[in-house]
Amino acid sequence: MKSLLLIFLLFISNFCLAQQSYVLSGMVKDKHGEPLPGAGVYVSSYKIATVTDNEGKYALFLKPGNYDILVQLIGYKALNKNVVIADKAVKLDFTLGESITQLAEVTIKPDPNRTHYIAMFKEYFLGATPNAAQCRLINPNVLIIDYYKEEHKLTVKTTEFLIVENKALGYRIKYLLNNFEYDSKTRIIYYEGFPYYEDLKGSARRKKIWDQKRITAYLGSSQHFFKSIYSGKATEEGFIINKLITQPNPDKPSDSTITANIKRLTKFQEGLLRKTITINHGDSLSYWIRKKNLPDGISILSRSPIKEDTLVHITNQRIKNINFTDKLYIIYTKEKEDPLFANRIGLSISRPLDMPNYQISTIALQVKPVYFYENGGIYNPRSMLYAGYWAWEKIADSVPMDYLPPAGLEGKK
pLDDT band at 342 (very low <50, low <70, confident <90, very high): confident
Phi, psi (degrees; rounded to nearest 5) at 26: 170, -165
The pLDDT assigned to 6 comes to 36
The pLDDT assigned to 27 comes to 97
Name the residue ranges covered by the structural domains of the chain. Answer: 18-96, 103-214, 222-249+297-392, 253-293
Mean pLDDT of 28-33: 95
The span from the CA of 31 to the CA of 18, in Å, is 34
What separation in angstroms does the CA of 327 have from each of 306, 373, 388? 12, 21, 12
Contact (Cβ atoms closer than 8 angstroms) between residue 147 and residue 109: no
The span from the CA of 362 to the CA of 243, in Å, is 9
The pLDDT assigned to 12 comes to 38
Please state whether the peptide bond connecting residue 35 to the residue before it is cis, i.e. omega within 30 degrees of 0.
no
Which among 32, 27, 25, 142 has a CA at the least distance from the CA of 97? 32
The pLDDT assigned to 102 comes to 42
Is pLDDT of 412 > 90? Answer: no
Comparison of pLDDT for 1 and 188, the residue scoring more: 188
Contact (Cβ atoms closer than 8 angstroms) between residue 70 and residue 46: no
Is pLDDT of 411 > 80? Answer: no
The pLDDT assigned to 271 comes to 54
Q: Is 365 exposed, middle or buried (0-12, 13-18, 19+ CB in 10 A)?
A: middle
Residues 130-150: tens digit of each pLDDT? 999 999 999 999 999 999 999
Give percent of the chain with pLDDT exceeding 90.
64
Highest mean pLDDT of the ranges 3-17, 193-207, 263-277, 372-386: 193-207
pLDDT band at 103 (very low <50, low <70, confident <90, very high): very low
Q: β-strands 94-96, 135-137: how paired?
A: unpaired
Contact (Cβ atoms closer than 8 angstroms) between residue 400 and residue 46: yes
Contact (Cβ atoms closer than 8 angstroms) between residue 35 and residue 29: yes
Q: Where are the beta strands (DSSP E) in 200-349?
A: 239-248, 297-302, 312-314, 319-322, 327-336
Is pLDDT of 112 > 70? Answer: yes
The span from the CA of 192 to the CA of 369, in Å, is 19
Residues 139-184: tens digit of each pLDDT? 999 999 999 999 999 999 998 899 999 999 999 999 999 999 999 9
DSSP letter string over 135-180?
EEES-GGG-EEEEETTTTEEEEE-SS-EEEEETTTTEEEEEEEEEE
Which among 199, 127, 189, 193 has a CA at the least distance from the CA of 165? 199
- Based on C-alpha coordinates, what's the Rg of the chain? 26
Class of the CATH domain delimited by 18-96: mainly beta
Phi, psi (degrees; rounded to nearest 5) at 235: -65, -45
The pLDDT assigned to 410 comes to 61
Contact (Cβ atoms closer than 8 angstroms) between residue 34 and residue 98: no
Is pLDDT of 2 > 90? Answer: no
Indicate left, alpha or beta for 309 from its phi (over 0: left) and psi (-120 to 50: alpha). alpha
Name the DSSP letter for residue 76: B
Residues 302-326: tens digit of each pLDDT? 999 999 999 999 998 889 999 999 9
**Torsion sign, CA atoms 266, 272, 278, 279:** negative
The span from the CA of 143 to the CA of 127, in Å, is 17
Mean pLDDT of 385-396: 95
Helix (H, G, I), strand (E, B) or coil at 122: helix
The pLDDT assigned to 101 comes to 56
Question: What are the residues facing 127 on neighbouring strands?
Answer: 393
Residues 64-76: tens digit of each pLDDT? 888 999 999 988 9
Name the DSSP letter for residue 311: H
What separation in angstroms does the CA of 270 have from each of 258, 259, 266? 18, 16, 6
Comparison of pLDDT for 161 and 286, the residue scoring more: 161
Name the DSSP letter for residue 134: G
Mean pLDDT over all residues of the chain? 86
Which among 239, 218, 225, 235 has a CA at the least distance from the CA of 405? 218
Phi, psi (degrees; rounded to nearest 5) at 272: -85, 5
